[in-house]
Amino acid sequence: MQAIQILTTGSADVLTLRDLPTPTPGPGEALIRIEASGVNFIDTYFREGRYPAQLPYTLGQEASGIVLSVAPDVTTVKPGDRVAWCLVPGTYAQLTVAPADRLVAIPDHVSFQQAAAAILQGMTAHYLAHSTYPIQSGDEVLIHAGAGGTGLLLIQMAKARGARVFTTVSTKEKAALARAAGADEIILYTQEDFVAKVKTLTQGKGLPVVYDSVGKSTFEQSLQCLQPRGLLVLFGGASGAVPPFDLIRLSTMGSLFITRPTLKNYVATRADLEARAKDVFDGVANGTLKLRLEHTYPLTDAARAHRDLESRNTTGKLLLIP
């Protein structure tokens, strides 16, 4: 079976198509034929070596597919089941094994591509809006990179909870997409000072929460957008990692809070995983959560997908089809 591996870390050039043996499910695992694999920014962190991985390493940690076989001790899924999962490495491949207790059933009205597009970024948007900072009706929130895969979903969920949504994007085309997703105030942060704009639009008050996945290039200004006792949710570093930070500054800037959350801790139990996946898939099935699936690549084009994502040329979700 074919898979995309890295044998060394580096640029998108290190992605290598390899023929690997069919994996065998170990205890508690299922063998799955992958129908679609999500491309996420975190995959570029592993590829670069920003996050450590044992090499050779099969990239990708989000997919949908059909169960082909299960280990004798598995009773929760069976061959033929349509399933989706995330946070299990090895999805840039035709076949993979995954722990059965991390698989969720795909509802009838959700396609394989929709499931692979929604499960990681959708559950991320879900925990950010519902758990890390449970948005209340009337809250004013800032979401960076609003036309990205996670950004478009987080805008929709923040609007559904009654927020006034501020978002940043790099181009006018992306601004139109963020607007269509429901954003109220759109700031072209490549041209405008987003701190000044936020301050003007909130009459100097600032915001209770900023969702920042851009990191290095926005972190300092994101703090300046907060009102006293506001929360910075730093959940990624698309522009690079944030340098070390002196905590005393949280005090001098208004008793601020910072959290650096990750999805793993918000879907750690089976109950959390099922509840979040259900909310996301229900939204996709009933049309209240819209996915943008404009970027679909054959598995063999994984390097092009990475280059497109990193050069800020994409909007919404990127999928690899084996």
Q: Which residue in the set 115, 169, 273, 319 belongs to the binding site for ligand NDP (CB under 6 A)? A: 169
132 binds ligand NDP (CB under 6 A): no
User: How far is Cα of residue 238 from the mean position of the Cα atoms in its chain?
Assistant: 11
- Cα(184)–Cα(213) distance, integer angstroms: 19
Count of alpha carbons within 13 angstroms of residue 26, beta-carbon side: 2
Q: Which residue in the set 25, 122, 148, 230 belongs to the binding site for ligand NDP (CB under 6 A)? A: 148
- Is 1 in a helix, a strand, or coil? coil
> How does DSSP classify residue 128?
I
Question: What is the closest distance, in whole angstroms, from the C-beta atom of residue 119 to ligand NDP in the complex?
Answer: 11
- Cα(83)–Cα(65) distance, integer angstroms: 6
Comparison of 145 and 302: residue with beta carbon closer to ligand NDP: 145
Comparison of 67 and 210: residue with beta carbon closer to ligand NDP: 210
- Name the residue with tokens 């959290």: 259
- Segment 292 to 311, residues that bind ligand NDP, using CB under 6 A: 309-310
106 binds ligand NDP (CB under 6 A): no
- Cα(154)–Cα(206) distance, integer angstroms: 20
213 binds ligand NDP (CB under 6 A): yes
Exposed/middle/buried for 218, CB within 10 Å: 0-12, 13-18, 19+?
buried
- Counting residues that bind ligand NDP (by CB under 6 A) gives 29
Comparison of 82 and 174: residue with beta carbon closer to ligand NDP: 174
235 binds ligand NDP (CB under 6 A): yes
The packing angle between helices 112-127 and 149-160, to 10°, is 60
Q: Which two tokens stand for residue 137?
A: 């009706």
170 binds ligand NDP (CB under 6 A): yes
- Cα(37)–Cα(62) distance, integer angstroms: 6
- Segment 257 to 276, residues that bind ligand NDP, using CB under 6 A: 261-263
Comparison of 81 and 189: residue with beta carbon closer to ligand NDP: 189
- Segment 9 to 68, residues that bind ligand NDP, using CB under 6 A: 40-42
Q: Which two tokens stand for residue 74?
A: 């598995």
Question: What is the closest distance, in whole angstroms, from the C-beta atom of residue 171 to ligand NDP in the complex?
Answer: 7
- Cα(219)–Cα(207) distance, integer angstroms: 15
Question: What is the closest distance, in whole angstroms, from the C-beta atom of residue 193 to ligand NDP in the complex?
Answer: 15
Question: What is the closest distance, in whole angstroms, from the C-beta atom of residue 46 to ligand NDP in the complex?
Answer: 11
Q: Which residue ranges make up the site for ligand NDP (CB under 6 A)? A: 40-42, 121, 124, 145, 147-151, 169-170, 174, 213-214, 217, 235-239, 261-263, 309-310, 312, 314
